Amino acid sequence: PRVTPAMRAIDNAWVDETIALGEEAYLSVRHGGPLRVLVMHGWNSGLPAFHKMLEAFDRARFSLYFVHAPGHGPSHALVSHPARFIAALEQAIAHIDQPIDVAIGHSMGAGAVNFVQARSQPFKRMVLISGPARMANVLNRFARFLRLGAKAHQAFLEQMVSTTGIALQSLDFVQFAPGILAPVLVIHDRYDREIPYDEGVALYHALPSARLFTTHRLGHRKLLQDEALIDEIVAFASAKGSRHDAPSSQSRLHAPCTVAS
């Protein structure tokens, strides 16, 4: 990972404690109310990207847990990959050892949240922001960006499987999405250049109890600062038996930062 010093910063005025989880992952905690929100960043990202969003959660109602994958935040590990994101998330869940009301993941963090939910169902509800539908799509786009030839492209995919210990079929989030019954808010920008919008739509259609929130021209990362999106996330996290739990039947695109339902 190539994480900037600014993105590694941890605001001690916001964080009550940061805990080493083992295997070079960390967990930052802001103690508060009874509802527990667990957050997982994306590749080369970190806690500062989520400050505006996390500040919107009322401390009297929510306790916040932010997972730092290896190579991110306080961790200066030289190696990270999807399996290490997944392991960090599972270590955080084991450390918290309490029901988690909402899990929020961005980009690769969304993939990790999705994978862990399919495996052990630890989250009552999920927010997937700019998440991939299939990790193979991410790797294939990167190989094309590097202009790898056919043999090098195949060797790259095989090396990723060897490094992570996870078959690419196991990182097909659309394939196992039908088994995730918890309410899910899928968020994606129509003009995301890193993870195309079509991948968010694919997840939305595959998840039985999903709603789709579409932003326009906020890209892959800038949308984390959008006030309308943040309001929607907080409302979804606060909802019990409301419209936020109802699955959507189809996707309808409207004005910027509106819900497709």
In tens, the pLDDT along 137-158 reads 888 888 888 898 999 989 988 8
> Measured between alpha carbons, how far is residue 163 from residues 42, 69, 104, 166, 193 in Å?
19, 16, 26, 8, 26
Of the listed ranges 31-35, 159-163, 167-171, the least confidently predicted one is 167-171
Instruction: Summarize pLDDT for 195-251 with one digit per residue, the tens.
Output: 999 999 999 999 999 999 999 999 999 999 999 999 999 999 998 544 444 443 333
Mean predicted confidence (pLDDT) in 84-110:
97
Query: 28 near 68, Cβ under 8 Å?
Result: yes
pLDDT of residue 11: 87
- For the chain, give the percent of residues with pLDDT over 90: 75
Q: What is the pLDDT at residue 135?
A: 81
